[in-house]
Structure 1
């Protein structure tokens, strides 16, 4: 690709990358091959930038490994808030600022975690997360639930056509575990205690603290559930299901599959309004709208 710099009107680029190769150049550009050049590549599977011009000479590498054969987007959003800014010369500004109403409000106080506002969701392909144990067959999900309000789904296992073969629902300050066959059980909502959902042959075990509830699964339904891991359309849904009018909002201080923590930035798809690394410390409508 060759670009005429005098005709460029856009200052940003984005693309998706897929590779198994841990080392190499993604792209290189220069205006002068001796004094002004730029390289984006992979070193040991991680992104690296090399920049050389009369203003700066630097090499920077960061981020997770990308050489896993799956698609990656190279412009990840940053979950953060900025305030008390003094941006260059206001008289030189040529375009109006984005209205604050279109941006996420900053909580007055925040804590680490992942916050799902009402109606938001994230999707993980079951093939991209740690796999069930084979003998005996078992799969576990652990949630650290810090805040929760409203009614709606917290998580579900299913397909886009039938997203709730097995689901955990928030309703009237209790958690309802439900199977696609209509069977369900519930636990009172207790915040701050780890919640574990463990799938085993013929049953699902929901545990929090000293409380344990067991949901027996019919053989036919268990077969459908196990098949989710054998097809590319098997998903772990977090938050509102497709087409659901959910009022549930919640905060997780962690989500683990088979004991391994899931990174929300690596979800297959997620709502842009999800706070991936922060949570409001208390649920309230009073927010600091400085950005």
Structure 2
């Protein structure tokens, strides 16, 4: 990540002050429906439990799993306080198992893509020196390993975790992005029936009954990017383009730096237009934009900002290309610093089916900050129907 300039650091600092977290975790059943998204912690597991190995009669766990997310942590287990560990994740939608055991590190990826939005039955089991992943009652991955340094008989505790890891991410043979916008249900974890401890930052939210691809904003929360981390300028003539596809109301995006802010929002009472607001130290101005709910193209030129090739705001005093490269806050869903304790008419509500910057798809899991209420990869189909 590039270094933020002082202005962006100040803006982000003020924004993060407004965030609130739960001070303690709860206990939940591992058998119900659990949404793995909607939390601030990245690597800390959403839920975890432990048991004495002497109480375990079957090294077998199964659960149903559903996601559109191509990458993230699903299931983790370890013994010897993390000296021997295992993690199941997705990479490019394909299952990947990584195992650390004594002097051995193993990473194996294979099988069918699971990020199709359908429910899949996953089973993980140990068969001697082999770990087996079964998907929908068919073997997808079989990993075998052996070390002369390991003990044949294990004692002590076994730890299980969902949605993260209990060991340092530096131990991974093949690093990945841990955030997982997914749901699990019907879990059978070894032969354990004890409740699971949850991450203190997690706020339980229901799983959507039917989903489609996209990023869902429920009317509270934003996703903030530093522009210096995003694709940059190719040619001055073409500028820098941000494209949004979907259906929504409220603030689509904002651009902010010291003494400058740009807000693109649909205001109350303007059902047929969107209003672009440009605020500068010297004053502010706005123009009306015909509403096109299916797509929005925001183009940044050296001294001007253009929306859908129809509305242009110019300011010779600012060099937007230089500002983009040095770092501004590009925010989807609202303005950094807005109160997020309750839903706001200014915050975006709806589904952004796709976000492109310079033609590249932007993953909200890579944001500098994303509010826990925002779903990175799934939208409820019923919410889409309400907005169309």
**Class of the TM-score when normalised by the shorter of the 2 chains:** 0.5 to 0.7
2:39 aligns with none
Secondary structure of residue in 1 paired with 2:130? coil
Q: Number of matched residues?
A: 229
Choose the corresponding residue for 1:244, options 312, 318, 338: 338
Matched position secondary structure for 2:323 = helix
Query: 1:216 maps to which residue?
Result: 313
User: Which residue, out of 277, 281, 296, partners 1:195?
Assistant: 296
Q: Describe the superposition over 1:216-254 as per-residue Cα deviations: whole angstroms up to 9, x where unpaired.
A: 31211x33x3331242x3232112222213333121111
Q: Is the 8 A contact 2:298 2:305 kept in 1?
A: yes
CA-to-partner distance for each residue in 1:61-111, whole Å, 9 max, x for gaps? xxxxxxxxxxx984522212334x152478x32225769x93222223221
Partner of 1:255: 355
Equivalence for 2:105: 38
Q: 1:55 to 1:251 in 2, by over 3 A?
A: same
Q: CA RMSD in A?
A: 3.9
For 1:132, what is the secondary structure of its paired residue?
coil
* 1:133, distance to aligned residue in structure 2 (A): 3.2
- Superposed CA deviations along residues 116-137 of structure 1, whole A, max 9, x for unmatched, are 2223111222122221234336
Q: Which residue of 2 aligns with 1:144?
A: 245
Give TM-score, length-normalised by structure 1. Answer: 0.64
Is 1:167 the counterpart of 2:269? The answer is: no
Deviation at 1:268, TM superposition (A): 2.5
Shift in Å at residue 28 of structure 1? 8.5
The answer as to whether partners of 2:236 and 2:302 remain within 8 angstroms in 1 is: no
* Structure 1: runs of 5+ lacking an equivalent: 14-26, 42-50, 60-71, 287-291
Q: Flag the 1:52–1:219 CA change in 2: closer, same or farther, 3 A.
A: farther
Please, which runs of 5 or more residues in structure 2 have no aligned partner? Answer: 1-78, 88-97, 109-125, 132-141, 145-173
**TM-score normalised to the size of structure 2?**
0.49
Alignment of 1:110 with 2:211, yes or no, is yes
Corresponding residue for residue 382 of structure 2? 282
> What is aligned with 1:155?
253
Q: Deviations over 1:12-59 (max 9, x none)?
A: 99xxxxxxxxxxxxx98434x5xxx43469xxxxxxxxx997133628
**How far 1:168 sits from its partner (Å)?**
1.0
Q: What's the CA shift for 1:140?
A: 1.1
1:205 pairs with one of 306, 315, 331 = 306
CA contact (8 A) 2:86 2:99 kept: no
Distance in 2 separating the partners of 1:176 and 1:168: 6
Structure 2 CA distance for aligned equivalents of residues 265 and 255 of structure 1? 13
Q: Relative to 1, partners in 2 of residues 1:142 and 1:7: Cα closer, same or farther, differing over 3 Å?
A: closer
Deviations 1:177-234 (A, max 9, x none): 122231211224432x221112234432222xxxx532231211x33x3331242x32
> 1:54 is matched with which residue: 102, 109, 129?
129
